Amino acid sequence: MTLLFATAFALVPGQTFAAAVQPKLHDISFTVKLEWSSRAELSKINRDFAMGYEADTAEVQYKDPLMLRGTAKINGQKAIYVIKGDTKTWYVPRLGAKVNQKVGNAPGKRQTLLDFGLVTTGMKDRFIMGKFVRKENGESVFDLHYAYEKDTSRHRVWVDPAKRVITKRMWYSQKGELMATFNYSLHAKFGSVWVPQKMSVRNAEGKLAGVSLLSDIKVNQGIEDSVFNI
């Protein structure tokens, strides 16, 4: 009886990290529009994070495993941001400027769909791992750690196990300090995949720092790998 009880308990839906993963999401594209932001409150999170809110809109394309391309206008200049393999690249076509950065040993510098409240099969284990914490108001709470053990920063996430989406994320630094809290809402289903369409971020003081909306969401359109070449 003890073994049977333990096995049944282990299989309770929502108590494994699989409850947070969108297994049918292979690629996605969308537009991110900045609805509101406060430079002062964003800067309290950190400078690099605040720079991500410089553009009013950005076109984002993602494909498993861990390939991402963002295109936006910053200070009137078109800028392209690509992550492929262990390399992050910034490119400004008009200036012909290109900068590469290796991020294999710095997962915190790699933007993924986790920033938008989603975890894919290609992200699970090879990028981030989850440990069940508790059930709370019908949601599953996990602590997420990067697969690269030398980076000790972490995220605590609240997951709707039925939709397999993150509704809340708390980001902690390598020193254990709370950096920011994200809330994801307005979830809608695209094909067989649920996607949050609104994201808000608050700094460690609880002050609202930014609100973004996602639109033109397209799932599993067969994005070519060549899209992530510069």
Domains belonging to the chain, first-starting first, are 17-221 (2.50.20.10)
Over residues 200-226, the pLDDT tens digits come to 999 999 999 999 999 999 999 999 999
Over residues 2-15, the pLDDT tens digits come to 444 344 344 455 68
CA separation for the pair 200, 211 (Å, rounded): 4
Helix (H, G, I), strand (E, B) or coil at 176: coil
Inter-CA distances, 98 with 53, 71, 84, 89, 92, Å: 21, 14, 15, 7, 7
Q: Which residue has 């992550």 as its token pair?
A: 83
Over residues 16-46, the pLDDT tens digits come to 999 999 999 999 999 999 999 999 999 999 9
Q: Which pLDDT score, from 0 to 100, does residue 96 have? A: 84
CA separation for the pair 170, 180 (Å, rounded): 6
For residue 167, pLDDT over 80 is answered with yes
Q: Average pLDDT for residues 54-69, to the nearest whole number?
A: 96
For residue 199, pLDDT over 60 is answered with yes
Helix (H, G, I), strand (E, B) or coil at 13: coil
Over residues 82-123, the pLDDT tens digits come to 999 889 998 988 888 889 999 888 888 889 999 999 999 999
Answer whether 154's CB lies under 8 Å from 96's CB: no
